[in-house]
Amino acid sequence: MIVVAADEGWQAQSAEHLAALDALGVRHGLAVITRADLANPEHALRQAHGHLEKTGLAGIDSVVVSGRTRQGFPELEAALARLVAALPEADTEDAVRLRIDRVFTITGAGTVVTGTLTRGTLRVGDELNTGGHRVRVRALQTLGEKVERVSATPRVAVNLRGVDRDDLSRGMALVTPDAWMATRVIDVRLDSGMNHRGDAVLHLGSAAVPVGLRSLGAGTARLTLSRPLPLRTGDGACSATLAGTRSSPDSECWTSVPPHCGAGVPRPPGRPRLTRWTCPIPRPCCAGTAC
């Protein structure tokens, strides 16, 4: 949701949040004008739609609400239901990548991580990789209920066996073994407003990773990450300069050498990294444009 207060209107922070959403390719949303009991919402509504029209969120629904009088709450609930119904279905058969946003321990249970399962299916007993550790799913919980399996895309808590709480942190990921390429060097397509050289912080999922950025020309650059991340072609990200106060959104993972290419086709020699490569198979075994 893009939320704008009727008595304050569109703010600089609103623009930054919208730029990040647009950079990440978000195309489904809802504009919500709040505090309608304090000011006429029409001006804020026009402002919001004017800014949205310049992005991939152009044309999204909008509602006007007041938390004090509960004006517009039925309309908000209906709009959210329509939004959820219109979302594309997640790929529940894909490899798992759960980006960790919290890590904690529970007495008698051990290490627990939480995140949003954006793809794939988790089952009790599954083996996964995280931070160089092979772990096993001991228990799963979603929406406050214990479950034996959970498919994308809910919030999920995963009780892990085989790793200590101190070995994990926000920004790491639980991934299906051998399905993701962990790399520190990636080639990206940049938004025209970004500087093509220097240091920045890459925000991808729950990770915030310092990177060095070097121009490759024509709106592309090479990023050297301070630590490896499990990535795929098309992953969207945002960056912010280390010294600046304003984000510079839009860096999109461009093309990648697939971690395995089947059919006996070798990966090009050298260290694994995201780079441009033409697959010799007429119908790529990775079923996409990655190779």
The pLDDT of residue 25: 81
Amino acid letter for position 179: A
The pLDDT of residue 71: 97
CATH of domain 2-86: 3.40.50.300
Low pLDDT (below 50) residues in the chain? 242-250, 252-291
The pLDDT of residue 167: 95
C-alpha span between 243 and 255 (Å, rounded):
29
Amino acid letter for position 180: W
The pLDDT of residue 232: 81
Between β-strands 30-34 and 2-5, what pairing exists: parallel, antiparallel or unpaired? parallel
C-alpha span between 262 and 178 (Å, rounded):
13
Question: Please, are residues 230 and 181 in contact by the beta-carbon 8 Å criterion?
Answer: yes
Among 51, 16, 88, 59, CA closest to 250: 16
Provide DSSP, 243-267.
S-SSEEEEEEE-----S---TTPPP
And the tokens for 232? 């795929």
Tell me the HSE value of 35 on the side-chain side, using a 13 A CA sphere. Answer: 11
The pLDDT of residue 289: 36
C-alpha span between 239 and 246 (Å, rounded):
10
CATH class of the region 180-291: mainly beta
Per CATH, which fold does 97-175 belong to?
A: Elongation Factor Tu (Ef-tu); domain 3 (2.40.30)
The pLDDT of residue 45: 97
CA angle 130, 131, 137 (to 5 degrees): 25
Amino acid letter for position 18: L
Among 54, 55, 69, 65, CA closest to 3: 65
Alpha-carbon dihedral 187, 189, 193, 196, rounded to 10 degrees: 30
pTM score, whole prediction:
0.74
C-alpha span between 111 and 231 (Å, rounded):
25
The pLDDT of residue 270: 38
pLDDT digits (tens, 9 = 90+) for 176-216: 998 988 889 888 877 655 555 677 888 888 998 998 888 88
Question: Please, are residues 156 and 76 in contact by the beta-carbon 8 Å criterion?
Answer: no
CATH 3.40.50.300 spans which residues of the chain? 2-86
CATH 2.40.30.10 spans which residues of the chain? 97-175, 180-291
